[in-house]
C-alpha cells in the first residue's frame, strides 16, 4: 500500500500536533485556573461557561461580534452580486480575466497594510473628511467606531464574496435565461425567479468566508475600533495571553466555533458546498 505510506507523514503530523492541540484546548475549557497560584486546576467544571452565561459584558461582546459579522456579510453580498454578474454575463473573456486578477490581487496584499490604510483614511484629518469638506459636507466622526469596523471588514473580505458568486453565476446555462424570456418573463422576473435562486449557493459559500473571518478576527478592533469595539477575539486574546486564563479563553473561543458549526449546517442545506 504505497498510497497509505505517502499519507502517513502529513496525516500523522496533523494528528500529533494540530488535532491533539485542538482537543487539548477544548478539554481545557472545562478546567479552571487557581486564583492564587495561577496554575491550571485539572478538575471538571462548568464554571467558565457559567461565567459566560451570566456575564452581561460577554453577551454584549458576542452580540457585537455576531451582528457586525452579519452586517459585513450582507454588505459584501450586495456589493458583490452586480460585480460578479457583470463579470460572468457581460464582460468578454479578456475583460473577465483582467477583473479576476484585479479582485484576487488585494487578497494577497498585506492584511495589516490594508487595515492600516483605512486608519489613515478615516482619521479626523484623513482622506474621507478632506473629501467631505471639499464637497461642502460636515466631517464624519467615524474613526475608531463600530461603523469604521463594519467598513473595514466589508473591504477586506469582499474578494472572498465576489469569487464564489461569480463562479455560481458563470455556471448558469445561457439557455435557462433564454427560456425564461421566451416564456414571457421580463428582465426583473428572470433575475428574481431564475438567476437569483441559482446564484444563492454562491452567495452562501462566500458568506461562509466573510462571516467566519470576521468572527475570529481581533486585529481590526485593535487598530480601527474604539474603546467599546471589543470582539470575542479580543477577550479571548486578553484572557489567554494577558491574564493567562487559558481555560476561560478556550470556553469563550467555543462560541464562534459553535456559531460557525450551526452556520455551516445551514449552508450545507442551501447547497453552498457544491458552489465552493
Partner 1 sequence: MERRGTRIALGVWVALVLLFLYVPIAVICLYAFNSSNVQSWPIAGLTTKWFSPAIHNGDMQDALKLSLEAAALATSVALVLGTAASFGVHRFRFFGRESISFLLVLPIALPGIITGMALNSYFAFWKMNFGLWTIVIGHATFCVVVVYNNVIARLRRVPGSLTEASMDLGAGGVQTFRYVTFPTISTALISGALLAFALSFDEVIVTTFTAGAQNTLPIWIFGQIRLGQQLPQVNAVVFLILAVTIIPVAIAQRLTRESGILRTE
User: In the range 121-180, which residues lie near partner 1 by CB under 8 A?
Assistant: 121, 123, 125-127, 130, 155, 158-159, 177
> CA-CA distance, 148 to 116, in Å (whole number)?
12
Which residue, 201 or 235, is less far from partner 1 as judged by CB? 235
Stretch that binds partner 1, among 51-59, 138-146, 197-205, 232-240 (CB under 8 A): 232-240
Which residues are within 8 A (CB) of 69 and not within 5 positions of it... i.e. 6 or more apart? 153, 210, 211, 214, 215
Determine contact, residues 233/218, Cβ cutoff 8 Å: yes
* 220 within 8 A of 226, measured Cβ to Cβ: no
Selected from 70, 71, 77, 79, the binder of partner 1 by CB under 8 A is 79
Which of 62, 103, 168, 205 lies at the binding interface for partner 1 (CB under 8 A)?
Answer: 103
Q: By CB under 8 A, tell whether 236 contacts partner 1.
A: yes
Residues 4-23 that bind partner 1 (CB under 8 A): 4, 6-7, 9-11, 13-14, 17-22
Say how many C-beta atoms besides its own lie within 10 A of residue 237's C-beta: 18
Task: Single out the segment in contact with partner 1 by CB under 8 A; choices: 51-59, 117-125, 142-150, 266-274.
Answer: 117-125
| Cα angle 48, 51, 53; round to 5 | 110
Q: Which of 253, 267, 272, 275 binds partner 1 (CB under 8 A)?
A: 253
Name the residue among 96, 237, 231 with its Cα closest to residue 167. 96
Q: Which CB, 106 or 197, lies closer to partner 1?
A: 106
Which window, 49-57, 105-113, 141-149, 165-173, contacts partner 1 (CB under 8 A)? 105-113
The alpha-carbon radius of gyration of the chain (Å, integer) is 23
Q: Does 262 bind partner 1 (CB under 8 A)?
A: no
The nearer residue to partner 1, 54 or 134, going by C-beta atoms, is 134
Whole-number Å distance between alpha carbons of 180 and 133: 48
Question: Pick from 204, 215, 251, 275: which binds partner 1 (CB under 8 A)?
Answer: 215
Does position 212 bind partner 1 by CB under 8 A? yes
Distance between CA 191 and CA 185 in Å, rounded?
Answer: 9
**CB-based contacts of 80, cutoff 8 Å, min separation 6:** 158, 161, 162, 165, 203, 206
- Give yes or no for residue 85 binding partner 1 (CB under 8 A): yes
Do β-strands 32-33 and 40-41 pair in parallel, antiparallel, or remain unpaired?
antiparallel
Residue 246 near partner 1 by CB under 8 A: yes
Q: How far is CA 228 from CA 26, 75, 224, in A?
A: 28, 22, 11
Range in contact with partner 1 (rule: CB under 8 A) among 44-52, 138-146, 163-171, 231-239: 231-239
Which of 66, 203, 240, 275: binder of partner 1 (CB under 8 A)?
A: 240
Query: Contacts with partner 1: how many residues (CB under 8 A)?
Result: 81
Amino acid at each position: 500500500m504505497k498510497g497509505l505510506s505517502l499519507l502517513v507523514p502529513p496525516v500523522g503530523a496533523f494528528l500529533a500536533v494540530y488535532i491533539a492541540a485542538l482537543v487539548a484546548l477544548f478539554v481545557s475549557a472545562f478546567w479552571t485556573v487557581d486564583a492564587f497560584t495561577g496554575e491550571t486546576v485539572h478538575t471538571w467544571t462548568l464554571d467558565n461557561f457559567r461565567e459566560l452565561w451570566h456575564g452581561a459584558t460577554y453577551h454584549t461582546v458576542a452580540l457585537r461580534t455576531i451582528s457586525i459579522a452579519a452586517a459585513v456579510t450582507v454588505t459584501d453580498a450586495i456589493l458583490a452580486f452586480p460585480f460578479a454578474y457583470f463579470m460572468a454575463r457581460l464582460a468578454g473573456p479578456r475583460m473577465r480575466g483582467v477583473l479576476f486578477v484585479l479582485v484576487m490581487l488585494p487578497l494577497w496584499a498585506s492584511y495589516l497594510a490594508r487595515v492600516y490604510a483605512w486608519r489613515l483614511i478615516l482619521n479626523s484629518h484623513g482622506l474621507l473628511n478632506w473629501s467631505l469638506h471639499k464637497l461642502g459636507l460636515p466631517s464624519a466622526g467615524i474613526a475608531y467606531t463600530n461603523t469604521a469596523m463594519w467598513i473595514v471588514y466589508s473591504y477586506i473580505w469582499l474578494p472572498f464574496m465576489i469569487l464564489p458568486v461569480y463562479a455560481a453565476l458563470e455556471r448558469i446555462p445561457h439557455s435557462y435565461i433564454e427560456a425564461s424570456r421566451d416564456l414571457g418573463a421580463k428582465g426583473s422576473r428572470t433575475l428574481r425567479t431564475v438567476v437569483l435562486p441559482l446564484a444563492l449557493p454562491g452567495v452562501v459559500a462566500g458568506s461562509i468566508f466573510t462571516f467566519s473571518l470576521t468572527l475570529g478576527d481581533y486585529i481590526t478592533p485593535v487598530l480601527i475600533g474604539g474603546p467599546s469595539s471589543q470582539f470575542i477575539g479580543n477577550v479571548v486574546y486578553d484572557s489567554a495571553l494577558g491574564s493567562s486564563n487559558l481555560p476561560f479563553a478556550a470556553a469563550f473561543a467555543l462560541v464562534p466555533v459553535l456559531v460557525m458549526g450551526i452556520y455551516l449546517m445551514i449552508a450545507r442545506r442551501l447547497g453552498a458546498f457544491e458552489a465552493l
